[in-house]
Amino acid sequence: MSENCIFCKIVKGSLPSTKVYEDDEFFAFKDINPAAPVHILVVPKAHVVSMQDVQDDDAPWLGRMMALAPKIAAENGCRPGLQGGFRLVINNGDDGGQEVHHLHLHILGGQRPW
Ligand code: DGP
């Protein structure tokens, strides 16, 4: 946990969010400023700043986070099959457009146009 991190506060429950999923490792909630009809953020509960901090031994939990994404997408209204789908985005650092410095996976979906 990092004292001043808003996503750590959301994970802890000291800042409100619309939770859609939680397990021992991950917490997922609706983006406050949705860019698509479905816009969910998945965060590791551990405070990791960005993919810039990731090492080889982070591969297992990163893999689990990626494997979780299609389940969360389907449970939250992303349509199945080739005509459905979703976009996965991780912004990293200022040049990557990251505003909140706690690694998070955006799941964006829903019928277009957005
Ligand atoms: P990024 O630019 O990748 O760091 O995206 C940060 C996202 O986090 C952005 O889409 C808005 C969202 N966000 C920021 N603050 C809050 C908050 O307090 N609650 C929720 N639910 N989402 C937030």
Tell me the pLDDT tens digit for each residue of 5-46. Answer: 999 999 999 999 999 999 999 999 999 999 999 999 999 999
- The structural domains of the chain, ordered by start, are 6-109 (3.30.428.10)
Tell me the pTM. Answer: 0.98
Of all residues in the chain, the percent with pLDDT exceeding 70 is 100
Contact yes or no for 42/23 (Cβ under 8 A) = no
Q: What confidence category does residue 2 fall into, taking pLDDT thresholds of 50, 70 and 90?
A: confident
Three-state secondary-structure class, residue 72: helix
Atom of ligand 1 at shortest distance to CA of 15?
A: 18
From the candidates 39, 101, 104, 106, which is the catalytic residue? 104
Using most ligand atoms within 8 A of CB, pick from 31, 38, 51, 95 the residue to mutate for ligand 1.
Answer: 31
Q: What is the DSSP letter of 32?
A: S
Three-state secondary-structure class, residue 108: strand
